[in-house]
Structure 1
């Protein structure tokens, strides 16, 4: 493949890494009030938060890297997307900032009402990005009102179309399941048992939402090989439900991770060779060819990525290995 296509695949990989890793963070945040309840409510909520405490901010680096790669490799794509989806992206950024602040500040004051307010921020700061990223990515695949100057003129109401809303709901449901399975894997005691129950109860809804969205995507934009990816993602979701019931949390988490990755593969595979289709006129489509940086810039970017990306992967893998043990009430008492 030529360098623009290679970098399109690279950006798809970065988005896959972000949604797989940050996806369970979002799910954990949304499940905080569900799994942290009862007589030991505060202890269990601290168990839930501590399960992602060492890794959630590192997982967000994948987003920064993905957006940075879009800026460097496809500046026209970056400009059109970030400007055309200004309000949804701004909402995501505010939600992520609020969630990060809430993680730091909820324990600063020993007052249940203080913690309850910050817990609500954590829930909102997890649910809003999960839904909105699904909405944004679905609109990128569907296309926007894009003129010959590369300016997106779609309104917010245009972005809230049924297909995009289905994408937001699918990613939201998938993140809830992914987060529940992660907590069943990462914690022990009451939180683990509740997480397993939540995973079993949400598996059907998540599978239905994801399958409906994938079928819609394949019907309008799919190709033969993206159909195979969709089938793999569906099979992984069904396997995850079965594995959770059998208390095989490690394999269940692998299955939900595969399903998240499959959704991203279907979306980016359905998009290529475009990077942002135009609903105004197909002649105005941004593609991997007309939106890419020059050969020299892509060449330099490739060398930088080849040197630093393995180092980042090694460091993040090491951090997950160091914090691999289950979290229990004993760790927060």
Structure 2
């Protein structure tokens, strides 16, 4: 994959496909823009005119509620026209290729495609074939990347914990199948997190994760010890095609966050989760919206972060 595909010659975002390889200054620019837009939409009037006249197409080849609706809201709050394409009912189910779909929709004068696809690299494929002036925003491709989720996680951590260089972050759960974990690790490493931990049974740890800058733990107590932030990952049952775990109950027993296990974290540690939550699996039910949890705030921040990415890519100025 071409690492420079998503950056223009003058260093601006052309597409957003992955956080891997992005410069710290660019990540900070996106987070700063999200903070600015978050503040600008706190009043009763939440609509800004930054993308008036632009067209954004949500092209989801995988089902999604939270991600698709936050992208839709983000575009609408910037005053863009938004089309949600139900791909399962489109021509792709009749044999039309991905490239045919892209070119057909480009002919409708779309400015940006927000794409989610089950195949790793699909967003890069679209970006490589997109017409000049048409932007591609990756909303999750296979196990590869989910850059806006990574950005909203970074935004949440920075807003509530400050300097990444002082922070130990534990990512717990299905690391193997998680594009969120990969995006989080790339972003945390780029912004200089003190320590990045991945915590899971051996069957859910991918090969090469340590080369990305993460320390591997197979004990939840050890992985949580002294952590400032814990990011719980959804156990992705739809992606688990082999015998990765004996049972969901056993996973919760060994790796689920419970009230008793909070004692391993720092007293002011925060709890995050990209959603949707499997209650009683990744987390004890009442902790999900408890005093340490920022799970609902993450949803709100996700709108501002996605607004920021859209505004920066399409060249709008606040």
TM-score range relative to shorter protein: under 0.3
Tell me: higher relative CO, structure 1 or 2? Use CA pairs within 8 A at least 6 residues apart.
1
Q: Which has the higher strand share?
A: 2
The two structures have a TM-score, normalised by structure 1, of 0.25
User: So what's the TM-score if we normalise by structure 2?
Assistant: 0.26
